[in-house]
Amino acid sequence: MNEAVILISEDDPVLETDFAKEMVRQMRAIDTYGTYDDWSIAKILEPFVLTKEKKREIPVIGDPDEITLSRVKAFYNAISALIEKECGLMAVPMLNLTHEGFGRSLITVGKLVVMDKTLRDVHRFGFASLSKMKDEADKLLSVALEIIGQHPKVAGM
């Protein structure tokens, strides 16, 4: 795969959002060897941006690699952290994937399921642009917060 093309600009306004900062925090949390310590925010988030051409280059045969799985976990962990920040209740992400790259991601708050997302072709997990990734996260976040608002007693259990 050709990694020479830079898809995220260092001055992209999305990099200043709470979501991007939380994504970087989550990615650095899973970086046990300190590889990301000297990397810019854009470079850390670069693997989340996959053009159609890049997606076509990724085979869906075999198990998804650990790096890809960690990116999926980081994405849903970041959404959980933002839910906690907004409503003050603990949000717990759960990810269940088969070795073929199919599964489900859930986020619960108390006894309430606030997000339920079916995952397919995790091998090719990524977004067309950084802003599309943020839009998806914002959509999931707003729906989760709306569900919490509708059922506060269940969320508080």
CATH number of the CATH domain containing 95: 1.10.3100.20
Is residue 3 assigned to a domain? no
Q: Is 26 helix (H, G, I), strand (E, B) or coil?
A: helix
Any domain includes 26: yes
Flag whether 4 is in a domain. no
Q: Are 157 and 89 in contact (CB under 8 A)?
A: no
The answer to whether residue 127 sits within a structural domain is: yes
Sheet strands side by side (includes 103-109): 91-97, 103-109, 112-119
User: For residue 40, is it within any domain?
Assistant: yes
Contact by Cβ (8 Å): 119, 72? yes
Provide the residue range defining the domain that includes 68.
13-155
Does a structural domain hold residue 55? yes
Convert the pLDDT of each residue in 9-31 to its tens digit. 777 888 899 999 999 999 999 99
Per-position DSSP letters for 50-116, written without gaps between them: --HHHHHHS--SSPPPHHHHHHHHHHHHHHHHHHHHHHSS-EEEEEEE-TTS-EEEEEEETTEEEEE
| Number of domains the chain is built from | 1
- State the greatest distance between any 2 C-alpha atoms of the chain, in Å, as a whole number: 51
pLDDT at residue 7 tops 80:
no
User: In this structure, is residue 7 part of a structural domain?
Assistant: no
Domain membership of residue 5 (yes or no) is no
Instruction: List the structure tokens of 102.
Output: 């199919």
Lowest mean pLDDT among 8-12, 32-36, 83-87, 95-99: 8-12
